[in-house]
Structure 1
Amino acid sequence: MNIDGVAVSQGIAMGHAHLLNKQIIKADYLSICTDVTAEVAIFHQTRLKLISHLQQLRDSSDINDTATELIEADILLLEDDEFISEVEQLISQWQFSTTAAVERCLRLHAYQISQLANQYLASRANDIESLSQRLIALFLNIETAFGQQISHEVVLFADDITPAEFSQLPLQHIKALVLKSTGVTSHTAILARAHGIPALFLCDYHHQVIEGDAVVVDALAGKLYINPDNNRQQQLADSGKAAQLAQQKLRQFINLPAQTLDGHSVKLLSNIGQLNQLDQIEQLGIDGIGLLRTELLFMGLKQAPTEEQQYQMYKQTVEAVTPKVVTIRTLDVGADKQLDYIHLDKQENPALGERGVRYSLHNPEQFMVQLRAILRASTLGCIRVMFPMINQVEELIDILDLLAQSKKQLKQQQLDYGKIELGIVVETPAAIINLPSMLPYLDFISIGSNDLSQYTLAVDRTNPVLSQQFSAFSPAIIQSIATVINLAKQQQISVSLCGELASDPRIAPILIGLGLDELSINIGTFLPVKAAICSGQYNHFTQQAAACLKSTKISQLAQYL
């Protein structure tokens, strides 16, 4: 028997099923608080005790940077003045017990978060529910050593696991993870990938898997096999070994220059959204950072990061990869990317609303904080900065004016800044049409193929049905990319591409054949892409690209993959 799931962390693992049943701790809604002062004091004592425990967990050497950020979010919520005030009010004015007041406040907060359109942020609701349970358990002195009863290697099954719970698991015993309800954009998915644990989410295993079943998690094909026969086990074992062997073979390309067999060199950079990915730049022989997604660095923060906080983030990034280039994309918020500290008005069509530089230009003071931090970090190494969702030259001129003001402010404060190269992310047909008017102001261009596909094909990129039907590898997109390259080359401006097309080993060589100078690739597919480029002839890539430009159907393009 097999069950479908969504593979969020790739790999194949075999083992025996362990079903994790989480204890539900009930709050006391029946008791009436008779000593408000004592009850409030106990609430604060318990809250501070949990904060202390989380801080110790955060500072543990066994916790990676991603888990640290998520634990920090729990600490910030426990320290939040509004949360504290709400609990105190329920205890003092309504005579709630501490457990009932805590549960009511955090459950309401979790519900509000769950209603957000952004799945990444909505998944935080589960984390808040878990935080409520831990705080109540601590108040009632109930032991909640989550997962610590696991003392041997297992494939772990659960309805859901929050990041805080994940951090308590004995990961050395977890061969794979199968969850019923967690979304593929959840923080737990990020942690599973960070730890290299094969994981299937959205897998409805209930009533089909029992404790101790022999199972195989195929997180390459998105399948869960229950009590497979010997032949199936052998097939899956062979697939796992083949995948591991293929990955090991790719490592031969780490120290090779990024060039084709006939000597054409390209720059292969990476897309970065978390500081804990920086070590891999050197480990994988990556040429630099082609896209630093600053909005991902800010996720989980309750307040806008200060200039000093941002400077430290960029400083850490530059120092980790110097002398290689760091390309910083300014805040790209809006549409499916939301931040806790930014409250945008409801928009009928957010993908066409206030996002990217539109938000930044509407909030110039906040924008200039980021610009000053970037400028200060530019004294430490090679920094490029690019602006997302630019459509017309007026926007670019306004940005350059704010950049000049930022430099003036730094001079007044006697703070140094270096030279930075300026670019834009080309993401709309309007940006392509208006590109000739913007090129005189630019040092480089990066093509954002994800949004370019969305706006050119009029397809919601978050719709799984439409996004499969209307592939980004389509004649309209290939023609658009070629147009951008030709316009830029006429002005001797370098061109990169930072969308998902660059991370596909089948498509990347064709993009190089179109004339791109750089590709910015997801770290997980960097070596397969590099191998595809280093193993081919540039002459062949240009021939493929020319043939693709003559294609009029998606089905015609598919033959080149």
Structure 2
Amino acid sequence: MSMLSVLRKIVQEVSTAPDLESVLDLIVRRIQRAMRTEVCSIFLLDSVQKRYVLRATQGLNQEAVGKVSLSMTEGIVGLVGQRAEPINLEDAFSHPAFHYLQSTGEERFHAFLGVPIIHHRSVLGVLVVQQHDLRRFDESEEAFLVTVSAQLAGVIAHAEATGSINSEQHPQAEAKAVHDRRFDGVAAASGVAIGTVVVATIDAELETVPDKTPHDVEQELHSLEMAMEAVRDDIRTAGRSLAQRLKSEEQALFDVYLRMLDDPALKTEIEAHIRAGNWVQGALREVILGHVKQFNAMEDAYLRERATDVRDLGRRILSYLQESAGPMEVDYPDDSILIADELSPAMLGMVPENKLVGLVSVTGSGNSHAAIMARSIGIPTVMGVVDLPFTRLEGRKVIVDGYSGRIYVNPSEQLLEAFREVMREERLVAAGLEGLRDLPAETTDGYRMPLWVNTGLVADVTRSLERGAEGIGLYRTEIPFMIRDFFPSEQEQLQSYRSQMEAFAPRPVTMRTLDIGGDKALPYFPIEEDNPFLGWRGIRVTLDHPEIFLVQVRAMLRASEGLNNLRIMLPMVTSVHEVEEAMRQIDRALAELQDEGYAVERPMVGVMVEVPAAVYQVRRFARIVDFISVGSNDLTQYLLAVDRNNPRVAGLYAPYHPAVLRALQYIARETRKEGKPVSICGEMAADPGGALLLMAMGYEVLSMNSNNLPRVKSAIRGVSLARAQSLLSQVLRMDDAEEIHRYLRRTLKHLGLGQLTRPRLPNQQEPAEDDPDCSGAD
């Protein structure tokens, strides 16, 4: 068997293992056999004790497992971890870092090969093989072990995380429960929340069913019996009704389902999980998904296909269980933190608004519809927490850190108190900013900076006006499209747009034309692409579908009748041709409406600069449109080639990257040469430090989420324009995004505006505050 086949088989087997111990045991046994070596061991890093602990071995003394450990700088294992690279030795005893581990029996083995187990840039542990002979492992053996380690790192991390969660379910395990267990994701909405988990379940979706303790075990067993019998009846009925129309091999599928239902082993296994303390739906999930994994790991193609049958059968049973239980009556605690595999706007509506304090999504992005809503209503949110075993968390206490994108499970009292202090600071700062509502965003030397808001929801209007917004810089028109099951009519769009314009009149309202594609999909207009961010999205879609574009523009124009505060903005433009074609369509819609008797006027029309191609055509665009607006989130993403919604690379998304800052400065300078106004909407404008840089660059309007507006206003009122320009000059001489970010934070603190920066968070290093360059001349 080839090494690739062996590797695939090991990965498949390990992925079906029920717990961390089984995962590790399988790995060492399979690798020892595949490499024909005498020892294979795994040392995992205990993050609390800061030691590598022997967790599994095949070849060393089993009594040493769990008892033997090395510090992070001790032995060759520690050296592998420090270097984060393989170490291949002919004779480990002669290496200066060698440290003899008593009770393991390793004194018999000379050859040593250790490779790090790395997940998301963190060393989880070290995978070791040893042999009695004096020899170096050859290149193919080393390559194989490195490949195995890379392939299995995610499986080990997930099993370790799930194990740490599971250990907390039992009081007798409390002594060894992992406190302050941290899971990293993508920060989607800032703030801190401490609360009780409620897991959002999707109908007939096995993966989303949470674990719960049953109130009545006998009732759960009875529900299982009834559901299985109902599915059995359905299958028999379907088989009889289709008997004349199906071939014999197709009819056999019904027999397969019935045999699975009649197999006492399946039912007995589910019942065992119920009696062990899980409700019937959670027990069903455990058993069915366990069987699915086993079938997927099989080499025989026919047997692998049975995984689909098992999953389908499980969904049928789950559907009956959910139906018989009726609408789930959820008693939402006052501090509910909603967790889902993928958060949707509908899920947010499940929890009473006064009880929802935090949101977490295992998948999804910081720019998803749910994340946009979360920022709008000011709920701390973390997305893309891919390693979080969310089905195990129902009813657990967790901390949501929406600043750094982290979740803490089973928090210690010490960590809870630290984050409570952060929340107290947040409340004090918010209270201190309330008095700014009716004051202008004006610098100490008299420069006035208009602050607008980004909206998309009806609730955004009241919230924005309460915080003193002077206009709407970005109204996301796709949101009314996303919450329906079909394209809204012209009249429906008109009503939605009119409510925004009336509420803000006579203040300007900038409406972006439909921007779908990328990570914004409509359920009734799916766009399936391998690379959606470089695909059919934004203006490309609407120009290809003028019937959609014209209806939307007509609705916008009609909504502005008598108010005349509309501005239309075109997204994702890359060429002058696209802009000219869109302008022709807008002029056509305007002429049609005027012919129909509507008293509509031509609005200002602008473009969003979101891709590098638009940056270097900005003067050409400025000559044919009325204003330029920068979409800094997408522009940063495209300039850095980083999908900020991907947790694996989200850390590389750097709004203060020198290339991004220089591009933003170039756009502002080139637009001003044509005498056209230039604005910006995005996360950078919502950051107090970023807002000062943008003001210094010459941006004439900053548009942001309404929750951030008071902080930005306070920052602007606390400096002079000259000081902001001096700050920009200093920043543009820097080469590193993190250095720039730290410098901005220190400068704000030096100016007495430290309360506007991100609060000092527990478990994070803070840079030194004494920077001689912070003071700078005004």
TM-score by length of 1: 0.72
1:21–1:158 contact (8 Å) kept in structure 2: no
Task: Measure, in 2, the Cα distance between the counterparts of 1:187 and 1:132.
Answer: 30
1:369-407 CA distance string (max 9 Å, x none): 111111112224211111111122221111121112112
State the distance in 2 between where 1:210 and 1:442 align.
53
Q: Give the secondary structure class of the aligned counterpart of 1:480.
A: helix
CA positional deviation for 1:467: 4.1
Q: Are residues 1:226 and 2:410 paired?
A: yes
| Cα distance change of structure 1 residues 192 and 500 upon mapping to structure 2, 3 Å threshold | closer
Q: CA 1:255–1:133 in structure 2 vs 1: closer, same or farther (change >3 Å)?
A: farther
Q: Deviations over 1:143-162 (max 9, x none)?
A: 545224x6x75656877787
**CA shift in 2, pair 1:283/1:466, >3 Å:** same
C-alpha displacement of 1:11 = 4.9
Q: Against the structure 1 CA distance between its residues 199 and 176, is the aligned structure 2 distance closer, same or farther, given a 3 Å change threshold?
A: farther
Describe the shift of the 1:384–1:226 C-alpha distance in structure 2 as closer, same or farther (beyond 3 A). Answer: same
The 8 Å contact of residues 518 and 537 in structure 2, kept in 1 or not, is answered as: yes
1:370 maps to amino acid: Q
Deviations 1:469-494 (CA, angstroms, capped at 9, x unpaired): 35231222222112211121122111
Q: Give the corresponding residue for 1:3.
A: 181
Shift of 1:445: 0.6
Distance 1:315 1:235, change over 3 A: same
User: How far did residue 278 of structure 1 move?
Assistant: 0.8
User: Aligned partners of 1:480 and 1:14: how far apart in 2?
Assistant: 39
Q: In the superposition, relative to structure 1, how do residues 215 and 541 fare at CA in structure 2: closer, same or farther (>3 Å)?
A: closer
**Distance in 2 separating the partners of 1:331 and 1:17:** 35
Q: CA deviation at 1:463?
A: 3.1
Distance 1:558 1:353 in 2: 32
Structure-2 change in CA distance of 1:258 and 1:402 (3 Å):
same
Q: 1:535 to 1:433 in 2, by over 3 A?
A: same
1:433-492 CA distance string (max 9 Å, x none)? 222322222211101112222332333333344442352312222221122111211221
1:153-172 mapped onto 2 (5 Å cutoff): 153=334, 167=349, 169=351
Give the 3-state SS of the residue equivalent to 1:260 in structure 2.
Answer: coil
- SS of the residue corresponding to residue 502 of structure 1 reads coil
**1:341 Cα offset (Å):** 2.5
* Partner of residue 376, structure 1: 558
Question: Is the contact between residue 632 and residue 684 of structure 2 (CA under 8 Å) also seen in structure 1?
Answer: yes
Letter in 2 for 1:352: L
> Aligned letter for 2:602?
K
Structure 1 residues 248-307: Cα deviation after superposition (integer angstroms, max 9, x where no partner): 112222221011111100111111121221111210001110001111221032221111
Q: Aligned with 2:732: secondary structure?
A: helix
Aligned with 1:494 (options 649, 673, 677): 677
Query: How much has 1:331 moved relative to structure 2?
Result: 0.9
Question: Relative to 1, partners in 2 of residues 1:417 and 1:227: Cα closer, same or farther, differing over 3 Å?
Answer: closer
Equivalence for 2:420 = 237
Contact 1:544 1:560 in 2 (8 A): no
Provide TM-score, normalisation by structure 2.
0.53
Residue of structure 2 in register with 1:312 after alignment: 495
Q: Supply the distance in 1 between the matched residues of 2:480 and 2:501 (Cα, whole angstroms).
A: 15
Relative to structure 1, the CA distance from residue 216 to residue 463 in structure 2 (aligned partners, 3 Å threshold; closer, same or farther) is: closer
Contact 2:477 2:514 in 1 (8 A): yes
Residue aligning to 1:31: 233
Q: Deviations over 1:339-387 (max 9, x none)?
A: 123233x434322222111111111121111111111122242111111
Residue of structure 2 in register with 1:407 after alignment: 590
| Greater mean deviation of Cα atoms: 478-487 or 408-417 | 408-417
Find the partner of 1:442 among 603, 608, 625: 625
1:404 is paired with a residue whose SS is helix
2:462 to 279, 294, 299: 279
- Does residue 478 of the first structure (1) align with residue 658 of the second (2)? no
1:29 is aligned with what amino acid?
V
Distance 2:631 2:334 in 1: 43
* Alpha-carbon distance in structure 2 between the residues aligned to 1:427 and 1:187: 19
Which structure 2 residues correspond to residues 13-32 of structure 1 after superposition, within 5 A? 26=227, 28-32=230-234
Q: Any idea what SS the aligned residue of 1:560 has?
A: helix
Of 632, 641, 644 in structure 2, the residue corresponding to residue 461 of structure 1 is 644
Partner deviation per Cα, 1:514-543 (whole Å, 9 max, x = no partner): 111011112232222221111111101111
Moved more, 479-488 or 319-328: 479-488
Larger radius of gyration: 2
Unaligned runs of 5+ in 2: 1-178, 200-209, 215-222, 239-253, 258-314, 745-778
- Distance (Å, rounded) in 2 between the aligned partners of 1:240 and 1:436: 46
| Structure 1 stretches lacking a partner, 5+ long | 37-93, 97-130
CA contact (8 A) 1:292 1:329 kept: yes
What amino acid is the match of 2:548? Q
From 542, 545, 558, give the equivalent of 2:728.
545
- Is residue 359 of structure 1 aligned with residue 541 of structure 2? yes
| 1:329 equivalent in alignment to 2:531 | no
Q: Distance in 2 between matches of 1:443 and 1:178?
A: 39
Contact 1:294–1:331, Cα closer than 8 Å, also in 2 = yes
SS of match in other structure, 1:500 = coil
Tell me whether 421-430 or 2-11 shows the greater mean CA deviation.
2-11
- Counterpart of 2:575 in structure 1 is 392
2:484 matched to which residue of 1? 301
Q: Equivalents in 2 of 1:16, 1:552: separation in Å?
A: 43
Distance (whole Å) between structure 2 residues aligned to residue 478 and residue 489 of structure 1: 17
* Residues 207/438 of structure 1: CA separation in 2 closer, same or farther (3 Å cut): closer
- Mapped to 1, the partners of 2:408 and 2:554 lie a distance apart of 50
Name the structure, 1 or 2, with higher relative contact order (CA <8 Å, separation 6+).
1
Question: Aligned equivalents of 1:479 and 1:165: distance in 2?
Answer: 40
Q: CA RMSD in A?
A: 3.9
- CA displacement at 1:315 relative to structure 2: 0.4
Instruction: Report sequence identity in percent.
Output: 29
SS at match of 1:31: helix
Match in the other structure for 1:110: none
Residue pairs, 1:260-271, within 5 angstroms: 260-271=443-454
Q: CA 1:177–1:472 in 2, change beyond 3 Å: closer, same or farther? A: closer
For residues 232-257 of structure 1, the C-alpha deviation after alignment (integer angstroms, 9 at most, x for no partner) is 55433332211211111122222210
Return the letter of the residue paired with 1:513.
A
Q: Matches of residues 508-523 of structure 1 in structure 2 within 5 Å?
A: 508-523=691-706
Alignment of structure 1 residues 114-125 onto 2, 5 Å: none
Answer with 299-308 or 9-18: which moved more. 9-18
* Change beyond 3 A, Cα 1:166–1:338: closer
Secondary structure of 1:328's counterpart equals strand
Which residue is 1:291 aligned to?
Answer: 474
Give the counterpart letter for 2:542 in structure 1. Answer: S
Counterpart code for 2:554:
R
* CA distance in structure 1 between the aligned counterparts of 2:602 and 2:391, rounded to whole angstroms: 62
Are the equivalent residues in 2 in contact too, given 1:271–1:522 (CA < 8 A)?
Answer: yes
Deviation string 1:160-195 (CA, Å, 9 cap, x unpaired) is: 7876676555665x4755768575667776776677
* 8 A Cα contact 1:176 1:217, kept in partner: no
Q: Structure 2: how far apart are the matches of 1:210 and 1:273?
A: 31
Q: Which residue of 1 aligns with 2:522?
A: 339
* Contact in 1 for aligned 2:338/2:356 (Cα 8 Å): no
Counterpart of 1:432? Answer: 615
Is contact 1:271–1:520 with CA below 8 Å preserved after alignment? Answer: yes
Name the SS of the counterpart of 2:702 in structure 1.
Answer: strand
Q: How far 1:3 sits from its partner (Å)?
A: 2.3
Aligned to 2:120: none
Query: Residues 268 and 145 of structure 1: is their aligned pair in 2 closer, same or farther, counting only changes over 3 Å?
Result: same
Cα 1:428–1:224 shift into 2, 3 Å: closer
